[in-house]
């Protein structure tokens, strides 16, 4: 498969797509654009979460239109203050995974592409997340920050999370977290 620099449909930084986050996160720039326009508070919390989980300064997140090889799409950028903005797809694997998980935890059922429960009012919809290997490619600081964010979002009642991690010590002292040790 030829490397087109991320311009193809389904790559991290280029797909415009719709404003509901898809499973592969290939429309992340469109979702960032939507959240920044429609919910400044949620977007600010996302920026704060990304600041906690990424190396270097993080002043903001934004999406901007770009053209590559005659195709117009969207690119997500991390604003780095005095440093040049960095395309999200240039972050390391752990940072990309962290950003995606934080976004999913913060967006909830109104922003994610999901099948709602027909018998439940939209205001009462709960997003059930399963994150097997939630800490994959993350350091302990990033994992702890995601778990703290998850506790906050679960407390609001729109998200439920079932996750596995390599070492449960990252959840020590977090209220509302139940740890089940599956053995060695």
Q: Nearest-5° angle of CA 75, CA 58, CA 147? A: 95
Predicted confidence at residue 116, as pLDDT, reads: 67
Q: Which residues of the chain are under the pLDDT cut of 70?
A: 1-20, 108-117, 122-124, 184
User: Are the beta carbons of 126 and 148 closer than 8 angstroms?
Assistant: no
The alpha carbon torsion through 151, 155, 160, 166 (nearest 10 deg) reads 10
Predicted confidence at residue 114, as pLDDT, reads: 58
Domain coordinates in residue numbering, the chain = 28-171
Predicted confidence at residue 11, as pLDDT, reads: 40
Strands (E), 109-179: 127-131, 159-163
Note the CATH architecture for domain 28-171: 3-Layer(aba) Sandwich (3.40)
């Amino acid at each position: 498969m030829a490397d087109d620099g991320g311009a193809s449909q389904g790559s991290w930084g280029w797909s415009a797509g719709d404003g509901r986050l898809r499973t592969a996160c290939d429309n992340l720039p469109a979702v960032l654009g939507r959240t920044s326009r429609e919910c400044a508070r949620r977007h600010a919390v996302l920026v704060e979460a990304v600041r906690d989980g990424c190396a270097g300064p993080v002043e903001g997140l934004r999406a901007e239109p770009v053209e590559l090889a005659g195709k117009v799409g969207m690119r997500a950028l991390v604003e780095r203050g005095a440093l040049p903005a960095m395309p999200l797809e240039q972050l390391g694997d752990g940072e990309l995974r962290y950003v995606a998980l934080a976004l999913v935890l913060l967006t909830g059922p109104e922003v994610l592409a999901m099948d709602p429960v027909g018998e439940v009012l939209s205001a009462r919809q709960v997003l059930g997340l399963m994150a097997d290997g939630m800490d994959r490619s993350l350091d302990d600081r990033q994992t702890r920050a995601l778990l703290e964010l998850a506790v906050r979002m679960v407390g609001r009642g729109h998200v439920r999370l079932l996750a596995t991690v390599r070492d449960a010590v990252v959840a020590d002292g977090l209220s509302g977290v139940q740890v089940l040790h599956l053995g060695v």
